[in-house]
């Protein structure tokens, strides 16, 4: 279990490439598990996203990235909904660590609130009890699973697409090779299996970025937030990403 990601406060293409290189030096076979969030830290869409206008795009892009890389992936409950941290008041906190450090640090209970299954149900469908251990934070009801089930481009549906694509194409282990960094905030890398080679480009910025990539077939069933400009030329929208099969 690789826990360095949950301690990050900033996530960009350059520090990400350094981080990945470090873990591969220790585990070159990819026998480890990535995790962006857990019950002891603030949810990554709140902790790492520098622009709340693109919460949905950031949630899908970051989880998709680590699900495509070699190794396992541990998805924390609510991550498949793009759930942000809950804004709890001091009297709602139960964790001793959060209570002792409030208001400067209260990240644990804010990541442990109930999963919002149904927007209109009691306790958001999480429990039939009169009171859950931690409260449902009202602003989190808009992320409820039942609403996202009805939208084809919701975070939940996008996450399912990524999981399905991974299962279909990475039945065997894949290897990773970084591509040179450029000054555009895009993280580029190659993934290789025995049957195919993929080139991936992930936009870690809040602006559109034009990219040129090797000739290949766009994997539409996993790529998100891009448009084609011509031969091998694409524009990635904020926190958009593209995966191409090149062989």
Task: Identify the three-state secondary structure at position 177.
Answer: strand
Query: Of residues 231 and 209, which shows the higher confidence score?
Result: 209
**Residue 12: what pLDDT?**
92
pTM of the model: 0.94
The terminus-to-terminus CA distance of the chain in angstroms comes to: 32
Max CA-CA distance within the chain? 59
Mean pLDDT of the chain: 93
2 pLDDT exceeds 90? no
Is residue 233 within 8 Å of residue 210, measured between CB atoms?
yes
Kindly tell me if the per-residue pLDDT of 20 is higher than 80: yes
The span from the CA of 4 to the CA of 44, in Å, is 12
pLDDT of 100 strictly over 90: yes
Mean pLDDT check: name the lowest of 79-83, 157-161, 169-173, 238-242: 169-173
Q: Quick check: 207 and 192 in contact, CB under 8 A?
A: no
Percent of the chain with pLDDT over 70: 100
Q: Would the pLDDT of 190 be above 90?
A: yes
Per-residue pLDDT at 1 exceeds 80: no
Q: Are 201 and 239 in contact (CB under 8 A)?
A: no
pLDDT for the residue numbered 247: 76
Q: How open is the CA angle 79-82-88, to the nearest 5 degrees?
A: 90
| pLDDT band at residue 48 under the 50/70/90 scheme | very high
The arithmetic mean of pLDDT across residues 210-222, rounded, is 94
User: Which of 69, 82, 2 minimizes the C-alpha distance to 35?
Assistant: 2
Closest CA to 59 of 75, 72, 71: 75
Three-state SS for 108?
A: coil
Residue 231 has pLDDT above 90, yes or no: no
On the question of pLDDT at 63 being above 80, the answer is: yes
Summarised one tens digit per residue, pLDDT across range 131-186 is 999 999 999 999 999 999 999 999 999 999 999 999 999 977 789 999 999 989 99
Handedness of CA 32, 34, 40, 41 (dihedral sign): positive
> How confident is the model over 67-92, as a mean pLDDT?
95
The least confident of 164-168, 173-177, 210-214, 231-235 is: 173-177
Tell me how crowded residue 235 is: count the other CB atoms within 10 A of its CB: 16
The mean pLDDT of 99-108, rounded to a whole number, is 90
pLDDT > 80? residue 24: yes
Structure-block tokens of residue 186: 């895009």
State the Cα–Cα distance between residues 54 and 71, nearest whole angstrom. Answer: 27
């Amino acid at each position: 279990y690789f826990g360095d990601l949950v301690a990050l406060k900033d996530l960009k293409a350059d520090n990400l490439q350094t981080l990945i290189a470090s873990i591969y030096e220790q585990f070159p076979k990819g026998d480890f598990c990535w995790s962006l969030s857990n019950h002891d830290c603030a949810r990554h869409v709140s902790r790492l996203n520098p622009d709340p206008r693109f919460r949905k795009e950031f949630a899908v892009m970051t989880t998709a990235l680590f699900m495509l890389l070699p190794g396992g992936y541990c998805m924390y409950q609510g991550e498949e909904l793009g759930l942000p941290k809950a804004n709890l008041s001091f009297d709602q906190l139960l964790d001793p660590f959060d209570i002792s450090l409030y208001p400067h640090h209260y990240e644990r209970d804010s990541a442990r609130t109930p999963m919002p299954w149904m927007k209109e149900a009691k306790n958001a469908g999480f429990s039939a009890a009169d009171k859950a251990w931690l409260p449902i934070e009202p602003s989190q009801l808009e992320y409820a699973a039942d609403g996202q089930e009805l939208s084809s481009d919701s975070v939940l549906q996008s996450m399912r697409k990524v999981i399905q694509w991974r299962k279909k194409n990475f039945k065997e282990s894949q290897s990773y090779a970084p591509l040179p960094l450029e000054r555009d905030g895009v993280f580029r890398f190659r993934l290789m299996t025995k049957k195919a080679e993929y080139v991936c480009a992930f936009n870690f910025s809040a602006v559109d970025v034009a990219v040129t990539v090797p000739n290949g077939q766009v994997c539409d069933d996993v790529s998100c937030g891009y448009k084609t400009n011509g031969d091998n030329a694409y524009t990635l929208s904020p926190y958009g990403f593209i995966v191409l099969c090149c062989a």
